[in-house]
A and B are shown apart, each in its own frame.
Chain A
Amino acid sequence: MLDAADRVTSASLALGKTPATAPMGDANTWIPHNIRMRDTWFPLAHSTGVRSKPVRRAVYSQPYYLWREDGKAIAAEFHPNERQSRPKSEFTFADGRYPVMEHYGFVWGWYGRPEAADPAHLPSLPFLPPKGGLPGYMIGTVRFDCAAPVSLENLIDLTHADFLHADVVGDEKSESEDIEVFFDTETVTMVRTCKAKSVAPVMKLFSGISAPVQDVRQVIRIYLRSHCAIAYGRFTPGDDVPLFHPCVPETRDRTRLDFAMNTSNASPLFRHIMPRASYKVSRQDSYMTSPQSPRYMVETTRRDLHSRFDAASQRYRVQMQTLAARQEAGDLDYKDNVSADCSDIIGLRKELFRY
């Protein structure tokens, strides 16, 4: 009853492929801080945050300076004013610059072999306008004092939300609850379907929902390499709330999250309020993940316990370790396409998000 579901329900299998995975048992003893993904795009900043004056970011402590030259985004290993006192890393071209691109309203920096950078490896985020342009109130930055995988595990494990964020998203009471997990070598997707769930207080207050319960379909899709996630909630009655939730591992135990929540189709009040809820929710998460994260930094023989509701986070742990092990062995290739439109996988109501 308590074993994590390990059903073969992946999109890869649907395509006739068999994803390589580590044994599920590895999920309970992992050290997320040891994972360092390569050859991937990280969303380093909102496009609006990069101007002519360099701003500093980091990926696994590797410095990234971002600025614009003639309106074009630049990502470099050294600050323009910096006297180069250390050798150039393997992550940049000869001129000390990283591959960089701009899409979905973000500046993306490549971490890995510069020659391997390819826009085809950019995660699909079909609910964001490709050229950016979301209003300022729909974007923001929060930080977590924890490892990026710990933060992503927190996201994909939705049962904590009913408990820790009950005052925002509602409690766990529902008529029925079903969790499905799909995965391939580059992604893990969780779909949670609840019938007659307690209405989220934030919707009661700001979206004018008077019904006592609502049907909820929540999707969390994680792009393993880039540590990017989509959190897409469809509430009936209620609104569609798609959130881009990237967890950039600035260091092994600190995470930067430049989020974008596209509430364009929600009612006017809710549209403005809901993105602000991220600040409250992130502090609630941080209250737990900050003390939790260091406890995963050291090796232990003690295995974490889990229930069937942890199927998604268990699978996430396994897939991350599998990919990390493959990279460690020198195989940096993409076996699955992360930029293929994931609208159908996440159940996006395309009519609401036409770009």
Chain B
Amino acid sequence: MSTDQAQAAVPSPWWAVARSEEVTGQKPLAVDIGGQAVVLWRDKQDVARALEDRCPHRRAPLSLGCVRDNGWIQCGYHGWSYDGETGRLKEIPNLKDQQKFPPLYRAIAFGVYETGGFVRVNLDAKTPPPRVSAKTYRLNGTAHIGVDHQNYLDALFDDPGLVVDIKGVRFTPYLMSELVVQDGMLTMERSCEWASKIWPAPFSSDFLLTILSRTHPETGETDLILRDSDLAELLRVHLSPVPAARGVTAVRWRAELGERSPPLPHSLSWGAEPFSARSSVDAAALRVLKPSVSLRSGELRAVLKSQTPAQVA
């Protein structure tokens, strides 16, 4: 199989564009995947639906409309209503009883899949959803940051502290395991220390914490696991950066504390939430951030892209 054929065979990715709580049957939610505007809502059966956020009648955003009692989405401009599963036009207000429309009369429907507290969308509705179920972490949040998706992932690899924050934890530049491909995921482990520690990292003989990260090579969805020196899990995070419009990255995350609590005086559970995704970046620090892990990730992603899906798996 040629490289081109292999790339053509790579399935379209599932993007975690919303947390489950954000998608409701009360009000449509506008998100985007790169330049593609998407509207999300829940139908009468509480199933999340996704259509192109563009009414095919006069191109108004469907997200400015409403969700009807029967679960259809209704454009706010002329009231055309669409079924979420197929995208087909179901009703035009003034047409009264003549509500039969040719198949052409439809909005573009996207694939939707919900697991682990995230609503995932695939721009190719024919892509089958992955057969995985994930635990839904209780803590969650959304941030939008003015860094494009690629630079966001590069920063996450080179200095996670620029884009995420774990309360009381400082990321160090020292890796316990450099970036490799494991089960199709870009995997690495970084040494961390408690932020209260005064002794500088370069002079530490041992680090009490590490953070294990597993990143999807295309979407950048990342699992972060903070562990202590006994390899006990202190915090688990699922981070989902999605390329949004105008070079913004939309970051949704869910987290939960591990079984073991950190020793006093350190605590991940006091006061503010233990994890947050930053909504702004220290641009001066980002500008001078040396690419290191990100160089390796670029190489590995290129290799993965040249492989068939079967080889990746």
Residues of A within 8 A of B (CB): 1-2, 157, 159-160, 162-164, 172, 177, 287-288, 291-292, 295-296, 302, 304-307, 309-310
A-B contact pairs, 13 of them (CB 8 A): A1-B100, A163-B78, A172-B94, A177-B94, A287-B76, A288-B64, A292-B60, A295-B54, A302-B56, A305-B57, A305-B89, A305-B104, A309-B95
Q: Which of the four size classes fits the interface of chain B?
A: 20 to 34
Q: Taking the complex as formed, is B58 at the interface, i.e. its CB lies under 8 A from any CB of chain A?
A: yes
Assess whether B79 is in contact with A163, with CB atoms less than 8 Å apart.
yes
| Residue ID in chain A nearest B79 by CB atoms | A163
Residue interface bits B26-41, CB-to-A below 8 A is 1, else 0 = 0000000000000000
Q: Which among B57, B61, B89, B104 is the interface contact of A291 at CB below 8 angstroms?
A: B61
Question: If the complex has contacts A2-B101, A291-B64, are A162 and B57 also in contact, measured as CB distance less than 8 A?
Answer: no
Question: If the complex has contacts A164-B77, A291-B64, A292-B77, are A172 and B93 also in contact, measured as CB distance less than 8 A?
Answer: yes
Question: If the complex has contacts A163-B78, A288-B64, are A309 and B98 also in contact, measured as CB distance less than 8 A?
Answer: no
Q: Taking the complex as formed, is B92 at the interface, i.e. its CB lies under 8 A from any CB of chain A?
A: yes
A162 to B95, CA, bound (A): 13
| Residue ID in chain A nearest B57 by CB atoms | A305
Assess whether A304 is in contact with B59, with CB atoms less than 8 Å apart.
yes
Distance between B130 CB and nearest chain A CB, rounded to angstroms: 30
Q: Which among B56, B59, B98, B104 is the interface contact of A1 at CB below 8 angstroms?
A: B98
Chain B contacts of A305 at CB under 8 A?
A: 56-57, 89, 104-105
Docked complex: B85-99 residues within 8 A CB-CB of A: 89, 92-95, 98
A310 to B57, CA, bound (A): 10
A157 to B92, CA, bound (A): 14
Chain A contacts of B104 at CB under 8 A?
A: 305
Q: Which among B61, B93, B98 is the interface contact of A163 at CB below 8 angstroms?
A: B93
Chain B interface SS verdict (over half): loop
Assess whether A292 is in contact with B59, with CB atoms less than 8 Å apart.
yes
Residues of B within 8 A of A (CB): 54, 56-61, 64, 76-79, 89, 92-95, 98, 100-102, 104-105
Assess whether A288 is in contact with B94, with CB atoms less than 8 Å apart.
no
Chain B contacts of A177 at CB under 8 A?
A: 94
Chain A contacts of B101 at CB under 8 A?
A: 2
A20 to B58, CA, bound (A): 25
Q: Which among A1, A172, A296, A304 is the interface contact of B57 at CB below 8 angstroms?
A: A304
Q: Which among A302, A304, A309 is the interface contact of B92 at CB below 8 angstroms?
A: A309
Chain A contacts of B60 at CB under 8 A?
A: 288, 291-292
Assess whether A162 is in contact with B93, with CB atoms less than 8 Å apart.
yes
Question: If the complex has contacts A309-B92, A309-B94, are A160 and B56 also in contact, measured as CB distance less than 8 A?
Answer: no
A215 to B210, CA, bound (A): 75
A296 to B54, CA, bound (A): 12
Distance between A164 CB and nearest chain B CB, rounded to angstroms: 6
Chain B contacts of A307 at CB under 8 A?
A: 57, 92, 94-95
A310 to B95, CA, bound (A): 12
Q: Which 5 A-B pairs have the closest CB atoms?
A: A163-B79, A295-B59, A288-B77, A305-B56, A172-B93
Chain A contacts of B92 at CB under 8 A?
A: 307, 309
Chain B contacts of A295 at CB under 8 A?
A: 54, 59
